[in-house]
Structure 1
Amino acid sequence: MPHLQFEINKNIDNKTKKNFAAKIRDSFSEVMQTGTDHIAISIREYDKYNLSIGRANPDEELCLMNLDVREGRTLEQRRVLALRFMSIVNKEFKIANRNQYITFTEHKGEDFHLIEKYLASWKNGEDPLA
């Protein structure tokens, strides 16, 4: 059950957030070869100067992404996902690619829990809730 967290230093309207979440969910499912029902997404909005990236102008808009995922994906999958997410953030939130930063944190499947069960280790093409 990935938890995909997006922290931005601007306010976004609800329609944009809804479209953004759908694109993120679909991209994750496609790249990471899994279903969508277990994907959790957080969008956190902060005031302008509550986020910082050393290389970014402090007056510009930023997006920090923390992606908690099950272990087992390749570096290539994670890189493809990172670039897709950056593109989606750029298009939907109008945040420059240079002002985005992604951290992946990998966990065992058993670290992710839903009411009906915990998840197993990731397998290519699986539906973790089946």
Structure 2
Amino acid sequence: MPLLQFDTTRSLSADERTALADRVTALYAEEMATTTGHVAVTIRERASSAMHLGREVEGPLLFLDAEIRRGRPFERKRAFALATMEYAGEALGIPDPNMKVVFTEHEGEAMMGVDRVGGEWNGSE
């Protein structure tokens, strides 16, 4: 039951926000070996003065805080992060040095909806 939270200094149109959410949801399902129905995405636009990165170059910033269930191997997380940054670079014009992905892992039961409490990831989903 991931929560994928984007912060960016780039102004996005409604279509760009929808495309980002749709693409990242699909990438998450593909790279993390799960389904899409429980993936939540938020996109927050920030003023340039509200975000900083020591290595940034000219251009917008994009950070992803990926709140996920624990248990997935590093290779899956890295593949998802790289695919997401590749998409953001191509579709939104975010320079590579201006992107960052951070994973925070939770026990399955710490992630819940009204009709569901997450379990531990076992790789067979």
TM-score by length of 1: 0.91
The structure with the largest strand share of the pair is 2
| Number of the residue aligned with 2:45 | 45
CA RMSD of aligned residues (A): 1.1
Letter in 1 for 2:116: K
Q: Is structure 2 residue 102 aligned with structure 1 residue 103?
A: yes
> Offset at 1:53?
0.3
Structure 2 stretches lacking a partner, 5+ long: none
> Offset at 1:94?
1.1
> Structure 1: how far apart are the matches of 2:47 and 2:67?
24
Within a 5 Å distance, the mapping from 1:56-67 to structure 2 comes to: 56-57=56-57, 60-67=59-66
> Offset at 1:113?
0.8
Q: Structure 1 stretch 86-95 or stretch 105-114: which is displaced more?
A: 86-95
Structure 1 stretches lacking a partner, 5+ long: none
> Offset at 1:10?
1.9
> Offset at 1:19?
1.1
> Structure 1: how far apart are the matches of 2:30 and 2:59?
31
Tell me how many residue pairs correspond in the alignment. Answer: 125
> Structure 2: how far apart are the matches of 1:5 and 1:93?
16
| Number of the residue aligned with 2:17 | 17
TM-score by length of 2: 0.95
Task: Evaluate the alpha carbon distance shift between residue 125 and residue 29 of structure 1 in structure 2; reply closer, same or farther with a 3 A threshold.
Answer: farther
> Structure 2: how far apart are the matches of 1:93 and 1:121?
34
> Structure 1: how far apart are the matches of 2:74 and 2:12?
31
> Offset at 1:117?
2.2
Task: Evaluate the alpha carbon distance shift between residue 107 and residue 2 of structure 1 in structure 2; reply closer, same or farther with a 3 A threshold.
Answer: same
> Structure 2: how far apart are the matches of 1:123 and 1:48?
40
Matched position secondary structure for 1:110: helix
> Offset at 1:5?
0.7
Moved over 4 A (4+): none
> Offset at 1:92?
2.2
CA shift digits 1:57-96 (9 cap, x unpaired) = 4x53101111011011001111111100101111222101
What is the aligned-residue identity percentage? Answer: 29
| Number of the residue aligned with 2:68 | 69
> Structure 2: how far apart are the matches of 1:93 and 1:40?
20
Letter in 1 for 2:18: K
